[in-house]
Structure 1
Amino acid sequence: MSDQPPPQPLTEAELSARLRGLAAQGAAPATGAQARDRAQRRRRGQRVVLSSTALAAAALTALASGALGSVTNASAPPAASVSHTPTPVPSPAPVQRVTIDLEAYTLTMEGRRFRISGLQEDCPIGEKAVTVTAKHPSITLRPDRFTKYVPRLQWAVTFTDRRHHERLLMWALDPSAGLNSIGHNAGPGAVALSPRDGKWVYDAIKTGARVEIKGRQAASADPDSVCYERQPVTGDQ
């Protein structure tokens, strides 16, 4: 047991003096109301700290989830795209082109030029450009009504006119007929080549070839009975 005597209670005057001294030093003890207010503030501060901690933890969880999702999405291969590019179509083969010059008496094709006979003025072909539709090794036309001459033509090349009639375009002279008509207007409705040239052109020209006919042609013509080479060609002959 302590040998010190128990403390003597302070008198009211001593207690007031001590309280004034503490107040002067800024350390006055709190009253009961002040103590309760301080306790409530501490509890609210603890709740705020706990709420902030919970929100921070939730934010970290969301951030981690987002990061993981980003990594997962980045690692996933992109979906294969469907190509809608149209399949290229090969260009059509160029059309064979042939030029007949009635004033120069020439036929040009495949880089070669051949001499021809021209058209009688009263028997024009009547077209500026035609398409080759058929070839015949030989054809026999209807007889000329005046001379009764029966035209038998070799290596004939034909086209289809505006009336949908197959017509003679060019042919090769008979070897025995001579070449007097070459370079002159002698054909009654079609052009003629020499026997050798006519065979070469016949072999080289293709069905579908586009033939340009240059030079002057008469605006009107005698009937087919006169221009017998303008007669429609019928069937294989």
Structure 2
Amino acid sequence: MSDQPPPRPLTETELSARLRGLAADVAAPATGAQARGRAQRRRRGRRVMLSTTALVSAALTAVTSGALGSATEAAAPPAASVSHTPIPAPSPAPVQRVTIDLDAHTLTMEGRRFTISGLQDNCPIGETTVTVTAKYPTLTMPPNKFSKLSKYVDIRQWAVTFTDRSHHQRLLMNALDPSAGLNSMGHDSGPGAIALSPRDGKWVYDAIKPGARVEIKGRQAANADPDSVCYERQPITGDH
């Protein structure tokens, strides 16, 4: 216990005097310095409150968006880049390959070789590589200067045609009419197209396909007579 004596109680007069002093301090108006100090304290309090509110909002945004991840969380690997470089398409293979050798008087296709009637020197085909356009079981040839002098109609069997560089459909091959003399096989006698024997011509007609690529090898004359002479070179329209 403390050895000091308890404080003396205030008398009624002393208590009244202290209460009057306190009342006087509260009622007294504040000086200019005191007012400025109070305003500064209020502003500092507002700034502290605004800073605290901003920090709390930023923390909530980071948590919601996932910006704050675990320290041990692995970073997601970057997405693999996709190449958009176009891959060149391979050139389409020809439907068939056929070779006509004008020097050897042969036609080769599907592993078989046939003897042909070649071209006259004055009536070359004029192309070294052609594409088969169409096939006709029978084809009536356009009039020529020889048929004008007679009633003879020139009809070819198993005819195969191509389109030349002038965009004209022309005769490429046909089966030789037996009445025209099969002794021309293996020799040059055609006025602008090649011919095969009837049996070989039928086989080639059945086996060859539109779109076949035909390579024409061997000699071809540099100059040609007009179509009135090389009538197999005339454009074909319809069944003529």
Residue matched to 2:162: 159
Structure 1 moving runs of 4+ over 6 Å: 85-90
* Letter of the 2:225 counterpart: D
SS in 2 for 1:169: strand
SS in 1 for 2:74: helix
- For the structure 1 residues 89 and 235, does the alpha-carbon distance in structure 2 shift closer, same or farther, using more than 3 Å as the test? same
TM-score by length of 2: 0.62
SS in 2 for 1:142: coil
- For the structure 1 residues 79 and 123, does the alpha-carbon distance in structure 2 shift closer, same or farther, using more than 3 Å as the test? same
TM-score by length of 1: 0.63
Residue matched to 1:216: 219
* Letter of the 2:102 counterpart: L
SS in 2 for 1:71: coil
Distance 1:126 1:87 in 2: 38
Structure with the greater alpha carbon radius of gyration: 1
Aligned length: 168
Residue matched to 1:111: 111
Q: CA deviation at 1:113?
A: 0.8
Distance 2:221 2:87 in 1: 47
Contact 2:142 2:236 (C-alpha < 8 Å) held by counterparts: no
| Deviations 1:89-109 (CA, angstroms, capped at 9, x unpaired) | 874552121111011000011
Contact 1:103 1:216 (C-alpha < 8 Å) held by counterparts: yes
Residue matched to 1:73: 74
Contact 1:134 1:158 (C-alpha < 8 Å) held by counterparts: yes
Percent same amino acid at aligned positions? 68
Contact 1:169 1:190 (C-alpha < 8 Å) held by counterparts: yes
SS in 1 for 2:189: strand
Contact 1:142 1:150 (C-alpha < 8 Å) held by counterparts: no
Q: CA deviation at 1:79?
A: 6.7
Residue matched to 1:233: 236
Residue matched to 2:60: none
Distance 1:82 1:151 in 2: 68
Does 112-121 or 213-222 show the bigger shift? 213-222
